Amino acid sequence: MKIALILARSRSKRIKNKNIKVFINKPIISVTIGLLKKTKIFDKIYVSTDSNKIAKISKQSGAEVPFLRNKKYASDTATTNQVVTDFVKKTEKEIDYKYVCCVYPTSVFIKKKYLIEGYRLLSKKFNFVFAATRYSYPIQRSFFVKNKRAKMLNAKSFEKKTQDFRDTYHDAAQFYWAKKEVWKKKKFHFDNNCGVVELPSNSVQDIDNILDWKSAIIKFRQQKK
């Protein structure tokens, strides 16, 4: 049995009520729940939240909320692994499932084919599988700015041609597959036991501020067309 678990705490700081803010015509978490339901991959879709309001909207959208998350796991310092582990420990005796796909409420670009690819990689040889995308510019040539002065991350990279650098990637902040027993071990980090599903740039949009939000709306509408 495979479940999707959406982590949706309240009190987002940079975008007020981000996880239930209306995205085009409905709360963004409702958009994500709807997309997950359409994939027909998951036996159940759950939401972990500390908010009664988020819980109500999630239930109306077709997800289940077995309990309200403890405030301890709804702080800025609580990690994804801690929240998923808390959910697993509180539900594993009542709910029979083997795989947990952790999803963020703002994952409005999530697609069935990438979720399936992630599950297949997990079932074959990896402990964890997550979505990532390629940097469009070599990060080896990146630099810091302090008092309007530039300081390169690695000065030796300045003279190298961009095509000579290896491709680098970053977490797409979209989905994370693992068996529930692996989540409980709290050993999620990027290593040789972690598989990667590469997403194209138009399927990725991190939403941390209002400009990200507006970009996501534009990108989402373009894909719908």
Q: What is the reported pLDDT for 61?
A: 96
Two tokens at 125? 């040889």
Confidence of residue 11 (pLDDT cuts 50, 70, 90): confident
Q: How many CB atoms lie within 10 A of CB 21?
A: 16
Instruction: With H, G, I as helix, E, B as strand and everything else as coil, classify residue 129.
Output: strand
Helices (H), the chain: 28-39, 52-60, 80-91, 112-124, 180-184, 210-224
For position 207, what pLDDT does the model report?
92
Instruction: Quote the mean pLDDT of the chain.
Output: 90
Instruction: Reply yes or no on whether the pLDDT at 89 is more than 80.
Output: yes
Q: How many residues does the chain have?
A: 225
Closest by Cα among 10, 19, 9, 26 to 208: 19
- Which pLDDT score, from 0 to 100, does residue 119 have? 94
Report whether pLDDT(31) > 80: yes
What's the pLDDT band for 187 if we cut at 50, 70, 90? low
Instruction: Please tell me which residue, 156 or 196, carries the higher pLDDT value.
Output: 196
> Which backbone phi and psi does 186 adopt, to 5 degrees?
55, 45
CA distance linking residue 105 with residue 10, whole number of Å: 11
Whether residue 132 has pLDDT greater than 70: yes
Q: For the structural domain made of 2-224, what CATH number should be given?
A: 3.90.550.10
pLDDT above 90 (res 106): yes
Lowest mean pLDDT among 55-64, 144-153, 161-170: 161-170
Average pLDDT over residues 19-30: 95
Q: Cα angle at 82 between 76 and 83, to 5 degrees?
A: 75
Q: Which two tokens stand for residue 199?
A: 């997403």
- Give the whole-angstrom CA distance, residue 33 versus residue 46: 9
Domain boundaries, the chain: 2-224
Output the pLDDT for position 155: 81
Evaluate if pTM is beyond 0.85: yes
Mean pLDDT confidence for 68-81: 88
Determine the pLDDT at residue 188.
Answer: 67
12, 134, 172, 175 from 160: Cα distances, Å? 41, 20, 27, 35
Task: List the end-to-end C-alpha distance of the chain, in Å, as a whole number.
Answer: 34
